[in-house]
């Protein structure tokens, strides 16, 4: 049985070393672009792009770094590009992949790129360390990270995880998630043990190396496990005391926001049209995504098709504009992270989020 686990190896939330990020602000390296070239960044280019009111001959440019390699969640970006929505806003968008998933927020803070797809808890942690990054849009509005157990494990609810061995990617956030979920269901978290499995989520559960895993996504690892004959049961963390946080957000730096607020707002208008196109033309959007996939990490069409089915409702803002954010949702996450000891300093909501969605 061949298990496609490359997405399990992503380095995600809370694994950034903020001390190294502080040093990077003065000397950041450039990320690799999709085509293998380097990002074009610098004060001269930033100055030339500082206003949205550019002429058709000189569109405003933005460099946006993905959270990782192109997959279903990025479909709206490629749709906006292909359908000309960025061009309609007089924008030239440079979409890039990071060489490491820790890079996007570092590069944003260092002023090396204009914006990046990142994670809401990571933004909160960064601000608690006085890193000047801010979210301007919520992209995936609910957690994708779930606790998973094999259906044949006999575990039917979170409190039955008491005394069990949990596989996790050695991220404090994930440990706090499990402990919160178990206690919220009336279980005792004191006997929980945690094994660092890195991001080998799929092999750990397939080989029964642990009783449960956290850090796997409902739109990827769960689908791969089931495709390979391993039915799993999932516990949605927001149903058991963990805040209903935004899985993915669009982040920029305070300095870039001050100079390019109108350009970023224009980007979000085009992105909203891209997401609407994906919703209405899912098959066409998937074909475009597959054409954009990274050769070193090929996508599985059936997995991405199911993934998009899961993602579309989780990215839907309802009656609000695509990308809109709630101060209440941010405050709930901040309070929970403070309670869990994941941050040491108070974080003000108006320092971590600005609503640019229209």
Q: Tell me: do 203 and 72 sit in the same domain.
A: no
The C-alpha atoms of residue 201 and residue 15 are separated, in whole angstroms, by 16
Q: Cα 90 vs. chain centroid, distance in angstroms?
A: 27
Of 134, 96, 313, nearest in space to 219 by CA: 313
Place 308 in a pLDDT band, splitting at 50, 70 and 90.
very high
Query: What size, in residues, is the chain?
Result: 358
Q: Tell me: do 253 and 113 sit in the same domain.
A: yes
| pLDDT score of 21 | 46
In the predicted structure, residue 342 carries a pLDDT above the cut 60: yes
Of 151, 157, 355, nearest in space to 257 by CA: 355
Domain final residue pick, 239, 269, 286: 239
| pLDDT score of 76 | 98
Mean pLDDT for 222-234 is: 97
Q: Tell me: do 36 and 126 sit in the same domain.
A: yes
| pLDDT score of 166 | 98
In the predicted structure, residue 57 carries a pLDDT above the cut 90: no
Task: Find out whether 207 and 200 touch, Cβ atoms under 8 Å.
Answer: no
Mean pLDDT for 224-245 is: 97
pLDDT tens for 264-306 read 999 999 999 999 999 999 999 999 999 988 788 899 999 999 9
Q: Tell me: do 124 and 51 sit in the same domain.
A: yes
Mean pLDDT for 131-136 is: 97
Q: What is the pTM of this model?
A: 0.86
Residue at 94 is within a domain:
yes
Residue at 129 is within a domain:
yes
The C-alpha atoms of residue 231 and residue 330 are separated, in whole angstroms, by 34
The C-alpha atoms of residue 186 and residue 2 are separated, in whole angstroms, by 38
Residue at 1 is within a domain:
no
Show the domain range for 211. Answer: 145-239
In the predicted structure, residue 31 carries a pLDDT above the cut 80: no
In the predicted structure, residue 3 carries a pLDDT above the cut 60: no
| pLDDT score of 98 | 87
| pLDDT score of 43 | 40
Q: Tell me: do 190 and 137 sit in the same domain.
A: no
Task: Find out whether 72 and 7 touch, Cβ atoms under 8 Å.
Answer: no
Residue at 357 is within a domain:
no
pLDDT tens for 78-121 read 999 999 999 999 999 999 988 877 788 999 999 999 999 999 99
Residue 286 is part of a domain; what is its CATH number? Answer: 3.40.190.10
| pLDDT score of 58 | 87
The C-alpha atoms of residue 21 and residue 117 are separated, in whole angstroms, by 17
Residue at 76 is within a domain:
yes
Give the Cβ contact number of residue 313 at 10 Å.
11
The C-alpha atoms of residue 133 and residue 104 are separated, in whole angstroms, by 11
In the predicted structure, residue 174 carries a pLDDT above the cut 90: yes
Residue at 358 is within a domain:
no
Q: Tell me: do 28 and 73 sit in the same domain.
A: yes
| pLDDT score of 73 | 97
Q: Tell me: do 10 and 36 sit in the same domain.
A: yes
Q: Tell me: do 108 and 159 sit in the same domain.
A: no
Count of structural domains within the chain = 2
Q: Tell me: do 213 and 113 sit in the same domain.
A: no
Is pLDDT larger for residue 30 or for residue 87? 87
% of the chain surpassing 90 pLDDT: 77
């Amino acid at each position: 049985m061949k298990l496609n686990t490359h997405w399990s190896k992503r380095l995600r939330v809370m694994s950034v070393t903020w001390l190294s990020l502080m040093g990077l602000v003065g000397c950041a390296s450039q990320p690799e672009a999709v085509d293998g070239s380097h990002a074009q960044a610098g004060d001269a280019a930033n100055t030339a792009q500082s206003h949205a009111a550019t002429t058709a001959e000189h569109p405003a440019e933005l460099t946006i770094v993905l959270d990782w390699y192109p997959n279903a969640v990025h479909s709206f970006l490629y749709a906006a590009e292909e359908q000309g929505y960025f061009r309609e806003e007089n924008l030239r968008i440079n979409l890039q992949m990071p060489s490491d998933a820790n890079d996007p927020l570092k590069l944003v803070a260092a002023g090396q790129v204009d914006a990046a797809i990142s994670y809401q808890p990571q933004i909160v942690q960064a601000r608690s360390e006085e890193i000047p990054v801010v979210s301007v849009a919520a992209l995936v509005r609910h957690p994708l990270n779930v606790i998973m157990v094999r259906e044949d494990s006999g575990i039917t609810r979170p409190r039955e995880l008491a005394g069990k061995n949990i596989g996790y990617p050695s991220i404090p956030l994930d440990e706090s998630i499990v402990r919160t979920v178990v206690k919220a269901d009336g279980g005792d978290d004191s006997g929980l043990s945690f094994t660092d499995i890195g991001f080998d989520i799929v092999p750990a559960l397939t080989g029964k190396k642990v009783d449960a895993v956290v850090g796997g996504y409902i739109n990827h690892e769960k689908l791969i496990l089931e495709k390979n004959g391993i039915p799993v049961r999932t516990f949605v963390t927001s149903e058991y005391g963990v805040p209903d946080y935004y899985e993915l957000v669009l982040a920029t730096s305070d300095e870039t926001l001050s100079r390019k607020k109108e350009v970023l707002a224009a980007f979000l208008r085009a992105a909203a049209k891209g997401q609407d196109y994906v919703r209405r033309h899912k098959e066409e959007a998937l074909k475009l995504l597959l054409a954009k996939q990274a050769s070193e990490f090929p996508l599985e069409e059936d997995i991405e098709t199911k993934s998009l089915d899961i993602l579309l409702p989780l990215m839907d803002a309802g009656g609000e504009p695509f990308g809109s954010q709630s101060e209440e949702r941010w405050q709930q996450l901040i309070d929970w992270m403070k309670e869990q000891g994941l941050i040491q300093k108070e974080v003000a909501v108006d320092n971590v989020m600005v609503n640019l969605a229209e």
